[in-house]
Structure 1
Amino acid sequence: MFPTFGKGPQTPETQTSTTQTTAADSDLIKDADMQSFARDVLDASMTMPILVDFWADWCGPCKQLTPALEAAVRDAKGAIKLVKINVDQNQGLAQQLRIASLPTVYAFFQGQPIDGFQGALPGSQLKQFIDGVIQTAGGTQAAGGGEGEAVAQAMEQAKQLVTEGQSEQAAAIYGQVLQHDPENLDALGEYLRLLIDLGRAEEAKMAFDQLEDETKATPQLQPVKTALELSGEGPGAGAIPELMERIAQDSADHQARFDLALALYAANKKEAAAEALLDIVRRQRNWNDEAARKQLLKYFEAWGPADPLTVEMRRRLSSLLFA
């Protein structure tokens, strides 16, 4: 079972979803799982905000929040959609997103988490939260060529530069955005992650350590926290030839393959590191208490849910786990 939740006894009344989605709601409200998360949340959020409700049958507050969420989404009349994730049936996804208590709600837009909360909010606060998400997602379009639109264009340019491998230029643009909008957590998270990728982890750590605890705990900064933790793991790049030789001599040496993944990651060879971990899962899924799968989940969080490498490697991991 998912380790951080205290699951209570199941009764016939609680063995089904907290609410039933009608056919009329199917376009606005849907259930999703690990396999459909990229399509139903990440891809869908490229054009409109998506609320993700993490719930469980045994969670009492979930039974209050989920119906209120559904009602608020209906009231928004197509400006926002709701995706529901049962954590008991999708423990890997919940762990990847660090869902530590229920209910938890994240708001995604353009493939990134932009806001979130835990616990059941009163109706007035829930409406205020959803209105804020909608405004954040649509505010730049309504700015009509003002500063908000300029920031949005700069963010898009930075994202494009990252996909083209021009991380230095992208980091510079995110830095400029932060000069104009210091409270832009999306820009801050991307900027610090790029610093780590560029070998400037100490600089990123100094900036991260200066943030308030509340800011550090936001969804946008969680990938940075994980990436900083990963940056100090594993042997250096010099160990790669030795580890590869050990594996060549004994293909069942999973510890060498795991250490190789850490060394490859430290050398910024992310795809090769993920491949090494997937190889362990393929050969012996439960080795060392599923250490390879857990390490992959850390990588996914550090890279961000919308990163193409995260999407591809998560798909391949799922195909191995559920084959």
Structure 2
Amino acid sequence: MEFGQKAPGAAGPGGDVIKDTTTAGFMKDVIEASRAQPVIVDFWAPWCGPCKQLTPILEKVVRAAGGKVHLVKINIDEHPAIAQQLRVQSIPTVYAFLDGRPVDGFAGAQPESQIKAFVDRLVGDAGAADLEHAIAEGEKAFEEGDLQTAAEIFAAVLQEEPDNIKALAGLARCYLKTGDLERAEQTLELAPPDKRDAAPLASVRAALGLAKRGQESGNLGELKTKVEANPADHQARIDLATALAANGEKEEAVSHLLESFRRDRKWNDEAARKQLVELFEAWGPKDPATLDGRRRLSSLLFS
């Protein structure tokens, strides 16, 4: 199923988007159903005058939403248990459910404009939740090495929300992982100017800069030979660490930078420490190499 499409069997305008329920049917019709789309519950009774004003407006606005939200009506005279559990004190009372729990509501008759705003807000919240779920799936695919799936998910999110920072960062990371530095940079440039310094983008930008410098640092074998020949050659050691990091050899990169820092902390304006900090930013605060590197750096700083 493509992102943004209705799930198979989802209701269209009218039809199943509006129904009556009972105490026994509440779990299926509201709690379970709200995991697929928002569900509005209208608590009413036949003798209630304001209910007769509100319910037709609710039905009209829900139908106009085209299946993005459902309406479930429950007669509290015939089925009082749910209303009692939710502490409904007067009718009409309306609750909105999303992901199995109440997220919004109101009591009393409302004009159509306010009902529409209520539904729009609910649909917007559901849409945002869908995007966050998709991004989480994309990040999971990325961590598992399924770059194709991850990139497709992030791209689908961007079709729905072109300035989504997490999706832009995720897609750029996919390009970066495949070595396509140009497209990674182009993806980062799609971020709005006021969001380009956001943490997810800053992390990818740091990783991109690291990858570029890694390409410029030279051949790994040659750099290793230079360091072995002269362990005090700080520039060669830092170049080697940069190339190793760009090659995904994080632990060895950290070790070389720490060794340079241990030998001469102040060399080239603390170049080794600054390079370490940049690596940590590129890898992210939760990366095992970042956590271990920070611990080892702290030990040196306070030794």
The 2-side partners of 1:140 and 1:161 are apart by: 26
Match of 2:186 among 206, 209, 217: 206
Helix, strand or coil for the counterpart of 1:153?
helix
Structure 2 counterpart of 1:304, one-letter code: G
Aligned to 2:58: none
Deviations 1:206-251 (A, max 9, x none): 2323443212133332223323332321455861111111222222
1:138-217 → structure 2 map (5 Å cutoff): 146-217=126-197
Closer, same or farther: CA 170–236 of 1 in aligned 2, 3 Å:
same
Closer, same or farther: CA 183–166 of 1 in aligned 2, 3 Å:
same
Match of 1:316 among 293, 296, 299: 296
The 2-side partners of 1:139 and 1:315 are apart by: 40
Aligned to 2:211: 231
Closer, same or farther: CA 206–235 of 1 in aligned 2, 3 Å:
closer
Structure 2 counterpart of 1:230, one-letter code: L
The 2-side partners of 1:140 and 1:207 are apart by: 36
Contact 2:241/2:253 (CA < 8 Å) preserved in 1? yes
Match of 1:243 among 218, 223, 228: 223
Structure 2 counterpart of 1:242, one-letter code: E
Deviations 1:256-287 (A, max 9, x none): 21111122233343333223212212333222
Between the two proteins, the alignment pairs up a number of residues equal to 186
Q: Does 1:279 align with 2:259?
A: yes
- Gap runs ≥5 in structure 1: 1-137
The RMSD of aligned alpha carbons is: 3.1
Distance apart, 1:291 and its partner CA: 0.4
Contact 2:245/2:253 (CA < 8 Å) preserved in 1? yes
The 2-side partners of 1:227 and 1:139 are apart by: 36
Distance apart, 1:314 and its partner CA: 2.0
Structure 2 counterpart of 1:310, one-letter code: T
1:54-73 → structure 2 map (5 Å cutoff): none
Contact 1:139/1:148 (CA < 8 Å) preserved in 2? no
* Percent identity of equivalent pairs: 40
Q: Runs of 4 or more off by more than 6 Å in structure 1?
A: 138-141
Distance apart, 1:161 and its partner CA: 2.8
- Gap runs ≥5 in structure 2: 1-97, 104-121
Contact 1:237/1:266 (CA < 8 Å) preserved in 2? no
Helix, strand or coil for the counterpart of 1:220?
helix
